[in-house]
Structure 1
């Protein structure tokens, strides 16, 4: 199996990236290919999942191991294939998605592409309690006064990032880190957010 691809990122398409590895171009399908924009024409390492069936072989790519692990868990659920799993990954906040599974919130899960009530219940049945390796579900979701103040700052920072052209998914992906910021200063949170987005 191909666990990762390391080479020059030569092209980015709507649903995939092309990585040149010693003269061989690998097409790697991703949930959000443009998160790799900053690495275009530079060397990059992309975590991959090598999907093999009798009639097809496809490489799926992820920006980190957590996203890859969630993908593998999702495709283990009856009714969710690789394309469906990518569509889910393209539109979720990972922590929020996992918390919804833990609290058995099928209404929330059905808001994602391709997930009906039956599939939502299957996700809960198959994955509840099995995703702790991805993110720690803790009491941080319980609101306290300080956390509300931080959340307000984060919301203002999110709006600023949108005005700079970042997508909802990119912003959601760093929101858990921003929530840890012990600051109510929107400018400081925006600077932290930009640093995280560049790192990703």
Structure 2
């Protein structure tokens, strides 16, 4: 629903930041609120909107890479938004992805709330699906072929990858979308419509 929010940081708490945009203060839970600065400058926060029966929560990230990794973690059985946030607060996507590929359970159990069973589940669900994070370069340079796609379309394709779609499916839908001029959110909606029709 919200791809990102650009605004000024009005408040920084141990668990969240408050971003003011057009007179509205958005409470955004983030892995490390202190990476944002209260300097009055407008900042971009990549967001994930999570709906529960008892609450609608916004999770935010300094980089698009962090957001995509958060979405990958949500695909793991037994890990919810709070658990995924805690893992990202304690480690970099590159480090975590490397540990998963190497089946390094000892490294994974160091994260808050991750025991041996959860570590095994993370490896089982994500091994082989994190290639874009195994390079310390920008993931858009690694996972999606550079064919002159717009920034918005590239982000949409990465989101589809995070949702579990294959490279073949993504490349097919990318060809159909590359001549459109849409926002990232609109690209994602249209792509999902084409993929499920």
Q: Which TM-score band applies after superposition, normalised by the shorter structure?
A: 0.5 to 0.7
TM-score by length of 1: 0.65
Partners in 1 of 2:39 and 2:10 — Cα distance? 6
Show the counterpart of 2:80: 81
Show the counterpart of 1:116: 115
Partners in 2 of 1:79 and 1:126 — Cα distance? 11
SS in 1 for 2:90: coil
- Please give the per-residue CA displacement for 1:50-104, whole angstroms capped at 9, x wherever unaligned: 0112221100000101111111111111111111111111111322211110011
SS in 2 for 1:133: helix
Partners in 2 of 1:135 and 1:67 — Cα distance? 13
Which aligned pairs between 1:83-102 and structure 2 lie closer than 5 A? 83-102=82-101
SS in 1 for 2:117: helix
Show the counterpart of 2:23: 23
Aligned length: 136
Partners in 1 of 2:39 and 2:33 — Cα distance? 11
SS in 2 for 1:136: coil
SS in 1 for 2:106: helix
- On the 8 A contact 1:11/1:40 being kept in 2, the answer is no
The structure that has the greater radius of gyration is: 1
- On the 8 A contact 1:71/1:86 being kept in 2, the answer is yes
Say whether 1:64 aligns with 2:48.
Answer: no
Shift in Å, 1:134: 2.6
SS in 2 for 1:96: helix
TM-score by length of 2: 0.66
- On the 8 A contact 1:15/1:29 being kept in 2, the answer is yes
Partners in 1 of 2:134 and 2:100 — Cα distance? 12
- On the 8 A contact 2:98/2:134 being kept in 1, the answer is no
Show the counterpart of 2:129: 130
CA RMSD of aligned residues (A): 1.4
Shift in Å, 1:9: 1.5
